[in-house]
Amino acid sequence: MDQTTKQNGLTRRGFIRTVGFGGAAAALGIPGGVDAQAPAAAQAAAMPRRKLGKTGAEVSILCLGGMFDTINNQLLLRQAYNWGVTYWDTAEGYGNGLSEEGFGRFFTRYPETRKNIFLVTKFRTSPPDKLSEALDKGLKRLCTDYVDAFFTHGISDFSQIAGVRGWAEQMKKAGKIKWFGFSTHTNMEDCLLAAATSGWIDSIMFTYNFRLMNAPKMKEAVDACAQAGIGLTSFKTQAGGQVKPDSETEFKLLQKFLDRGFTDKQAKLKAVWENPHIAGICSQMPNLAYLSANVAAARDLTTLSETDREMLERFAHETRSGYCAGCGRICQTAVGGKVPVNDVMRCLMYYRDYGDREMARDVFAGLPAAARSQLSELDYSKAEKACPQGLAIADLMAEASRLLA
């Protein structure tokens, strides 16, 4: 860091955050101003698109995650559309339906855009009769007659959706959903492998990033789904952790990628896009700085070099003890199923890496009360011994109890 930066009081962390989002768009050619015109499909031509598996639908490789205040960010929704980000993802649980309502307000104001948006919503597993009622309410909030894809949200075992197949077929025939699938950020590989042999899953959204993509089982799972024609979209692609990596290590990584013309965050997106089996990256982009930086990365055709990929892989290895890899079956079994350790880790990630304390506490509050009450009392020694990442699980669970309760 140069002397000027020090004198201005900008820390390495501050520099990383500033350059990582604000300066990236201009560097890669995205205009800084907001288009004041109404949405126009012609303006979306520059955004690359890929086919979503056997559905045949072509979707933007950058997808808008709706876990933010969509009601009061209509300008951002309009700009996302104008820049070609036309895969929109939401969920019943995002703001207790308010995210869906925000999308619905946009479609009411710009009804001509609905046919160009690949719309996804997600609900937690429920009996089919409750799912039907929930879907109808969701469609009403979204101000649409159908969604392009409906996902059962956040499964950790494929058996959790065994009873939903018949319901999904009924909803397809009724024209309320086009395709069915699930999202997962726990035991992802097992869920994908089971889906690949099931014969009835159309699409999956799953945790996939530079930390996970080189693991043999993850490669096997992604390849199996691709061969089965299952459309794949990824989330959690920045691979933020429960423990912040050493700022010096992260700063050096950023500096090296800036020399290549993009940021470390954009490099992490590019690493995922380089797998042709991934149709799109779903990213939470709650402001125009995030949106413009990610659009810039999607439009930029520069590929990662072998050295770039090696840097990311080395960084992943050096900081692995700060990242929960989602293999929840291991740690949860080690504590006798009493605490969903992986889910608590995700709450800590929202709190520490995302900096979204409200969301972290909301998700934490949704965990079983019995698990939350004994979070700092259990013996995690077996779980720590079994953890492939070497996480200090006991300390992290104690911290979660203090920060999130």
In this prediction, the residues of the chain whose per-residue pLDDT falls under 70 are 1-45, 243-247
Do 278 and 339 share a structural domain?
A: no
- Residue 163: Cβ within 10 Å count: 12
Positive or negative torsion for Cα 323, 183, 80, 303 = positive
pLDDT at 100: 97
pLDDT at 17: 42
Which of 314, 335, 360 finishes a domain?
Answer: 314
Alpha carbons within 13 angstroms on the beta-carbon side of residue 356 total 17
Whether residue 2 lies inside any domain: the answer is no
Which of 291, 314, 337 finishes a domain?
Answer: 314
Whether residue 319 lies inside any domain: the answer is no
pLDDT at 46: 85
For 191-228, the pLDDT digits (tens) are: 999 999 999 999 999 999 999 999 999 999 999 999 99
Which of 252, 287, 314 finishes a domain?
Answer: 314
Question: Phi, psi (5° rounding) for residue 325?
Answer: -85, 5
Q: Which amino acid is at 39?
A: P
> Domain count of the chain?
2
Whether residue 6 lies inside any domain: the answer is no
pLDDT at 320: 87
Q: Show the domain range for 171.
A: 13-314
Q: Rounded mean pLDDT of the chain?
A: 87
User: At what angle are helices 264-273 and 288-299 packed, to 10 degrees?
Assistant: 50
pLDDT at 244: 65
Q: What tokens were used for 272?
A: 């995922």
